[in-house]
Structure 1
Amino acid sequence: MKVLISGASVAGPVLAYWLERYGFEPTVVERTPELRHGLGGHAVDLFSNAVEVAERMGLGDAVREARTRIQQLTLCRDGKRPIDVDLDRLNAGISDRHVEILRGELTRLLYDATRDRVEYLFGDSIATLADDGTGVDVTFEHGKPRRFDLVIGADGMHSTVRRLAFGPEESMQRPLGGYLAVYSMPDELQLGNRMLTHMKIGRLVGLYGVHQTGQARAAFMFHSASELRYDYRDKDQQKQLLADEFREYGWEVPRLLKHLDAAGDFYFDSIAQITLDTWQKGRIGLVGDAGYCPGPAVGGGTSLAVIAAYVLAGELAAARSDLPSGLRNYERMMRQSVDASRALAPKVMKTLIPGGPLAMRAVPLAFAVLPHLPTGLQRLIWAQNGIGKALGSLQLPDYADLVRA
C-alpha cells in the first residue's frame, strides 16, 4: 500500500521508517530542499517513550551521541546574583531517559535512517487532495499527479494537508499569548557547554553553545497581550518584530541582535495550539503538530510527535485491510496523551515567561533547590508534573509481529 507523508522533520520520517518496516510503500514530500537538513533549529527534548522509540529504530546510541551536552545553566536577573545550575545532576535526578538534541540534528538522524528505503520528494508540496473512498488523488506544486492509498499530514503547525482537508488554520489555532524565536550566531561569549538565561516579567532570553558547530544559539520568548499579525513565511518581517520587542531589553541582548539580520536559520512563531475534534477524515490523517500541536517549546511536542508516529504506523499495519479504521484506532490510543500535553502547555509557558513578581521569585528558587534534592524525590516530582504524566500515560505498544522487512 502506498502512503504519502507530507513533512520530513520528525513525525514524517519516524512514520515512514515504521511503515516501510511493516511492508508499506511510503513517500515523503517536503517543501524545503534536501540541503536544508543539518544542525539548525532549537534544542528539543526526547523523553521516556520517545527515547524508547528511537532505540527500537536502532538510533538510541546515535541520538545520545548527538545530544546538546549543555552542562551548566546560569540564570541571570537585573540586580540579583546569578544562579548556577548543574544540568547533568538535574537531568540525572529527573529521568534517566531524557535526551536534549538540536531539532536539525534529530531530523538528520531520522532522514539518514530512512533515505535508502523511503522515497523523498524534496522541494515540492501538495497542491490538491481528492479522496474518493478507495484512495486519494494528489496533485503537487511541481511533480506529476499521483494516487495513494493514504495521505498523512506531518507538516507542522502550518500544515498544508490540514488546510486542504480540514479547513483554514485560523479556526483551529488557539494562541497562548507567547512567541518564540531562535537563531544561530558566533559564540562570542565562549559558552562552550554552558547556557545563559536572563528573565524579566513577560520575557526570557537564552544563549547556549552548540558543540557540533562551535557557534551559539540565541533564543527569545515573550508574552504579548494582543495577537501579533505577520506572515509566517516572511522572515524579514519576523526579524523586525523581534528586534522591536527586545531593542530596549538590555543585558547581552544588543550583542545578540547584531547577528539577527545575518541569521540564515532564523525561526519565529507564536506559541499556539492546534485543536481539532478529529485528526482523520476518510483516507487522510494528521500526526504531530499538524494535528494537535500542544505549543512550541512548552508542551513536549517533539516527543509527542515521535510517539504518535510510531503508534500510527503500528495501528495502520494492524488494520492493513481497513486503513481508516487504523486511523481511528491511533486517534483513540493517543487522545489521552495529547489532551494532557495540551493542558500542560499554558502552565509551562507561564513558568518560562514570568507573568509577575511572584513568578520572578519562584522560578529561580525552584532552579536553585531542585538539583540538591535526593534523586528519589526529584523523580517523584517529575513523575507528578504535567510532562511526566503526559508522555508516560501511554504504555508503548509492541508491533514487532507486524514487521515484514
Structure 2
Amino acid sequence: MPTSGTKKVLLAGASIAGPTMAFWLARYGFAVTVVERAPALRLGGQNIDVNGPARQVVRKMGIEAAILAQNTTEIGLQIIGQDGEVAGEFPKEASLTGTRELEILRGDLVQILYDCSKETVDYRFGDSITALEQHPDEVFVTFASGKSETFHLVIAADGVRSKTRQLMFGDEPQFKSLGLYIAYMTIPRQENDNDWWRWYTAIDRRVLMLRPDNKGTIRASVAFLEDDTETDEKRPTDEQKSLLKAKLAGAGWEADRIRQAIDGADDLYFDQTGQIKAPRWCDGRVAMIGDAAYCPTPISGKGTTLAIVGAYVLAGELSRHDRHQDAFAAYERLMRPYVDEVQKLPPGTPKLVYPETKFGVTVLNTVAGIVASKPVQKLVGLFSSDDAEEEKEGIDLPTYL
C-alpha cells in the first residue's frame, strides 16, 4: 500500500464516480486531488437509486444510513392512462417496480459523497484540465486557470461528455446514440400531486414523468424519440426550451403544466441519451471511470451503480498493486464483463415503450395493467432474488481492506 503523499492522483469530476474513488484512494494512503469545472458542487438532478453491488460499496463507506435518510419519499410507480386514470400500479414493495429502497436525488448523493471525503481530499472547484502530457514516471497537467502540476495518475470521471476523456483517448470511445432525448427539471408541487412516480405515455413517441422529492417540489421529465440525432455539442438553452415546448404541445395529461414551467426552471437539463462504448479504459498513466468510461444510459437504471462500483474497484486495485499497469489491467478484467452485461439493453429498447399511435399507447398501458395485477406480481415474486443476491448481481466485489 502506498505511503501517504507518495503517489499523487488527480480525478476530473466531482459528481458520483469521482468523489467515490477519491474517498477510497485517500483511505489507501494516496494524495488525492479532485478538480471540478463548476464553481461549486452541482447539486441538481433527478431521482437515482443505489442498487446491486453499489449498495455493498456504500455500506463499506459507512454512508448507507445517510442515503436512506435522504429518501425521496417515492412509494412506487403508477402508469397513467390516456384519460389520466391509473392503468397500473407498482408499489416499491412489489417484485416489479422502478422504485428502490435507496432512492435519492442525485444532488443529495453528491453532497453525501463530498461530505465523507472532503477532509482527506483536495477539492478544487472552478477549474478543469486543458492538457495532459504523459511521461514515464508522471503526467504533466495544465489547467484552465493557467496553473500546471504533475501527478502520478490522472482519472477522468467527468461524465458522458467528458472533456478529459477526449484529451486522453481522442475520438476513440464512441457515443452510441439511442435516438432518445430526455429533459429534467424541478417544478412546483400542486395539491393534486402525490408520492407516486407517475409515468404517462403520449402519442408521437413521447413520455412525461412526475416524481416526488423530499424538498416539497416535483421532479418532472420529458422524453421523446427523434430520428435525427446529434452527437456533438448540446443545443443552446433557448433552443432546448423551444424544442421542449414544441414536443409538449398536445401531449395531454400534465403537459401544459410542464410546458408553462420550463421558462422558470433554473435546473433544466436536456440532452440525448446514449452509451459510451470504449475499447479500453486505461492508457499509460491515465484512466477513466463512470459515465466517461461506460455510460449505460438512464434506461438501464444502472448508471449510478456502475459509477460507484467502478470507482471502488479501480481504487482497490491501485492499492493492491505496486505497478499501476497491473492495477489497470485488473480493473479492466473485473469490470468489463459486468459493464458488458449492464449495457445489453432489452431488444427493441427504447422504441417499444415509445409508441407512435394511440393504439400503440393503449396496448402498452393494457400490458402494464396486466403485469401490475396481483396474480402476476405474486408469480414474479416466486422467482425474484432476495436483497443479498441482488447486491452480488453481475460482479463479485473484492475486499481490499
**What amino acid is the match of 1:397?**
P
Q: Is 1:324 the counterpart of 2:328 in the alignment?
A: no
* Structure 1 residue 23: Cα displacement: 0.6
Q: Distance in 2 between matches of 1:55 and 1:347?
A: 35
Aligned ranges 1:175-190 → 2 under 5 Å: 175-190=177-192
Tell me: CA distance 1:256–1:332, structure 2 relative to 1, closer, same or farther (3 Å): same
CA deviations 1:42-90 (Å, max 9, x no partner) are 1112112111111110001111111212114332222474225242322
Deviates more, 1:101-110 or 1:232-241: 232-241
- In 2 relative to 1, CA 94–238 (structure 1 residues): closer, same or farther, beyond 3 Å? closer
Q: State whether residues 175 and 231 of structure 2, in contact with CA within 8 Å, keep that contact through their aligned partners in structure 1.
A: no
Q: Distance in 1 between matches of 2:368 and 2:225?
A: 21
- What's the CA shift for 1:191? 2.1
Partner of 1:121: 124
Match of 1:2 among 8, 23, 34: 8
Deviations 1:314-341 (A, max 9, x none): 011111x211221121011001111111
Moved more, 144-153 or 290-299: 290-299
Counterpart in the other structure of 1:62: 66
* Cα deviation code 1:163-184 (max 9, x no counterpart): 1111138x61110111111000
Give the direction of change, closer, same or farther, for the CA distance of 1:176–1:80 in structure 2 (3 Å limit). Answer: same
Please list every run of 5 or more consecutive structure 1 residues that lacks an aligned counterpart in the other structure: 401-405
Q: Is the 8 A contact 1:50 1:307 kept in 2?
A: yes
Q: Quote the Cα distance in structure 2 between the aligned partners of 1:192 and 1:358.
A: 27
d(CA) in 1 for partners of 2:100, 2:52: 5
Residue of structure 2 equivalent to 1:209 = 212
Letter in 1 for 2:330: N
5+ residue gaps, structure 2: 1-6
Greater percentage in helix: 1
1:364–1:118 CA distance, 2 compared to 1 (3 A): farther
Equivalents in 2 of 1:77, 1:96: separation in Å?
A: 19
Matching residue of 2:91: 87
Distance 1:188-1:370 versus aligned 2 partners, 3 A rule: closer
How much has 1:367 moved relative to structure 2? Answer: 5.3
Residue 395 of structure 1 is matched in structure 2 by 396
Query: Per-residue deviation at 1:285?
Result: 0.3
Q: Which residue of 2 aligns with 1:28?
A: 34
SS at 1:28's partner residue?
strand
Contact 1:341 1:390 in 2 (8 A): no
TM-score normalised per structure 2 = 0.89
Q: Aligned residue for 2:77?
A: 73
Q: Distance in 2 between matches of 1:107 and 1:145?
A: 27
* Equivalent residue number for residue 151 of structure 1: 154
CA distance in 1, matches of 2:244, 2:385: 35
* Equivalent pairs, count: 391
SS in 2 for 1:26: strand
> Are the counterparts in 2 of residues 94 and 382 from structure 1 also a CA contact under 8 Å?
no
What is the rounded CA distance, in whole Å, between the counterparts of 2:237 and 2:221 in structure 1?
A: 16
C-alpha change, 1:373 and 1:338, in structure 2 (3 Å) is: farther
- Find the partner of 2:145 among 129, 142, 157: 142
Distance in structure 1 (CA, Å) of the matches to 2:347 and 2:23: 32
CA contact (8 A) 1:295 1:345 kept: no
Residues in 2 aligned to 1:252 and 1:86: alpha-carbon distance in whole angstroms = 21
- The worse-fitting range, judged by mean Cα deviation, of 188-197 and 176-185 is 188-197
The residue type equivalent to 1:223 in the other structure is: L
Q: How far apart in 1 are the matches of 2:184 and 2:373?
A: 27
Cα 1:382–1:178 shift into 2, 3 Å: farther
Query: Given that residues 202 and 361 in structure 2 are in contact (C-alpha distance below 8 angstroms), is that contact kept between their aligned partners in structure 1?
Result: no
Q: Give 1:374 deviation, angstroms.
A: 7.9
Query: Quick one: percent identity of the two aligned structures?
Result: 36
